[in-house]
Amino acid sequence: MTANAQRALLLGSILAVSACKGRSETAPIEKPPEAAPSASQESAPVSSAPPVAEGLMALSGEELLRRVRASGAKATLVNAWASWCGPCRREIPMLQAMAENLAPQGVAFVLVSVDEPEERPQAEAFLRDHKITLEGYIAARPLEPFKLALNPRWPGMLPATFLYDAQAKLRYFWGGPAYENEILPVIEGLLAGKNIDGEATFGLAPGRVER
């Protein structure tokens, strides 16, 4: 395993987590230190979700799960991402296409940016430029409660993808880049009432999951 395959960091503790061969581009949830922060520290008010063009609304993890329960969706895929995360940026257009295909089956897709509040314009610009129409939010601060609410086992790598059922129970977790041929069978299994509970295992080759 290469050194680059172990660069994902635990949220708030800067501890390394391992990633499998082929997933070495997994990004830490913390922004790379070389990027200079903006002076602005404003955050969005928590209200009804506006279109991306109007701004990403700040939402806590608990609030997000309440929205999942209230949505009426049979399954909800939540993707945590950041505008500075290369693998995240490559993954989102795939999720947009999947959402359009799965909407008739009652599957919802939600994007949650973990960008800093002052970096919200970059996240919004990426979504607009790529014509992403998925429901989107920005994670409220502090991030640790947000991470724990979504999945206490989430070490903090990005991207990270979470599959919830209609009651907002976590059924599957992908830590790091996920592929359509990994995600789709799990969603279809959930819709069919199968026992799909589990999480991606970094020790496996790309394109495979272990349940």
Buried b (16+ CB within 10 A) or exposed e, 46-71: eeebeebeebbbbbbbebbbebbeeb
**Across all residues in the chain, what is the average pLDDT?**
80
Confidence band for 200, pLDDT divided at 50, 70 and 90 = confident
**Is residue 139 over pLDDT 60?**
yes
Which of residues 2 and 20 earns the better pLDDT score? 2
Domains delineated in the chain: 42-199 (3.40.30.10)
Check whether 8 has a pLDDT greater than 80: no
pLDDT tens-digit map of 108-123: 999 999 999 999 999 9
Residue 107's DSSP bridge partners are 75
Q: Are strands 160-165 and 170-175 parallel, antiparallel or unpaired?
A: antiparallel
Whether the per-residue pLDDT at 14 is higher than 60: the answer is: no
pLDDT tens digit sequence for 21-79: 335 456 667 665 554 444 433 333 333 444 444 589 999 999 999 999 999 999 999 99
For residues 92 and 130, the answer to whether their CB atoms sit within 8 Å is yes
Q: Which helix (H) or strand (E) holds 76?
A: strand 75-81
Residue 27 is predicted with a pLDDT of: 67
Is the separation of the CB atoms in 190 and 196 below 8 Å?
yes
Q: What's residue 100's pLDDT?
A: 97
Given a cut of 80, whether residue 133 has pLDDT beyond it is: yes
